[in-house]
Amino acid sequence: MPLFRLVVDTDALTDEMFAFITDPTPARNNRTVLAELHEYLPDAVYVLESMCVDGVDERGYVEDYVSATIGPRVTRAGEVAALEAG
């Protein structure tokens, strides 16, 4: 039994990260995802900035990054109910 669980909605995180990198306005720096990443996964902010510079325009690349960095170390938000029931 784990001492603690980190629950991440990877689909929502991917969507928010993709919205950040495809937002051409300076307002993207005010997005909630950026503040949360600074707190929980600060290195991801540098990756997102690099994706902006590189011109990433496909959600799949962001999804691959989220999967590679978060992957099986966390519980997907949709799986929490199953874990709590079991």
The total of other beta-carbon atoms located within 10 Å of residue 75's CB is: 16
Give domain status of residue 48, yes or no.
yes
The Cα 71–Cα 68 span in angstroms is: 5
- Cα dihedral 58→59→65→71 (10° resolution): -150
* Residue 23: domain span: 7-85
The answer to whether residue 2 sits within a structural domain is no
pTM for the whole thing? 0.78
What is the pLDDT at residue 73?
55
Domain count, the chain: 1
> Per-residue confidence of the chain (86 residues) as pLDDT tens digits?
567 677 888 899 999 999 999 999 999 999 999 999 999 899 999 999 999 999 999 999 999 999 888 865 555 555 554 555 55
